[in-house]
A and B are shown apart, each in its own frame.
Chain A
Amino acid sequence: MTDFAPGDPVRVRDWHPPGHVRTPAYLRGRRGEVERRLGPFGNPEQLAYGLPADTQPLYRVRFTMAEIWGDRAEAPADTLEAEIYAHWLEPA
């Protein structure tokens, strides 16, 4: 798995697994930039079911509203940050 640093361009995987996930649908497939690393956290996709959980690095990723909403963005240069687990990110 790639280890990302602040400023790295990343893309949220466009992935639609069933079950409990904490990656909002509106960010899937979107490109952003790592804002900071937050360290390892238990994978909520396992924790939610009481399963032994692996740990995943968690990142804060910054997106522009233009990237998320395209032409429908209310103000294209406004930004949004969300926490995304490493297994949901790929280099962009």
Chain B
Amino acid sequence: MPLDLVVNVTIAGVLTGLVYGLMALGLSVIFGVVRVVNFAHGEMMTIAMYAAVILFGAFKVDPFLAVLPVAAVFFALGYALQAGLINPFITRPEHSQFILLVAVATIMVNGLLIGFGPDARNLQVPYQLESWEFGKILLDKARIYAAAAALATSAALFLFFKYSLTGKAIRACADNNLGALVVGLNVKHLYALTFGLGSACVAVAGCMMILLVDVTPNLGPAYTLLAFVIVIVGGLGSMPGALLGGVLIGVSEALAGLYITPSAKSMMSFGLLILVLLFRPQGLLGRKA
């Protein structure tokens, strides 16, 4: 295997992995605070991808501009979903929450199927075919931009949680729910806010991902599983962990596609997940519960 090919594939894996990481970050933030696993996460991702396709098809809006309205709408929808449906399920057993979100996911997947049919959709922007060349190293412009946007969004979220008052309040809810209630925080509102933020992350990730792959309605469950794998490998509730997990999975997928066969790529991810769950259940960067 020529070295420059391996290097190029690895770089592409890292860049795609950062977008994966942003998607998983949304799941991680939601689980870390609300303690509910969002089984509709990948389905939300595909909705964002369709949104970018539509905005581009109808109004020629570049995905990097489409990010803003799509993320805003997703924030509102995520807030409504948590406030209306999920908040009453916080104290229910896990299998109840699972069915609730599976039902939501089913409606999402099939709503897309009704609206857009089963065929793959994509969009074409001029810079998708351009790249920078450094000797034998090729850097796809679309991939670089997408990864940069993912990093910027993650950084913004990180700063929000670290320094803003609301971010601190949300972290307080996650650390000690009862304590947060005692000091008078509106926990349900903060939960909804968190779900909104997690949804906005997915929206950005979806708008970026559509530059890299085609979308079909059935892609949702695969992305949901992918997000779980990443978040558990990186450490549930750890923000840098989600990005690290994303990069690891992105690279392992890319290399498995190169060395073994593309269809075996998710076997690598699930193998990695099983190993991490067994030997470091809190994830690579997670704290012990």
Q: A and B: partners?
A: no
Q: Which residues of B contact A (CB under 8 A)?
A: none
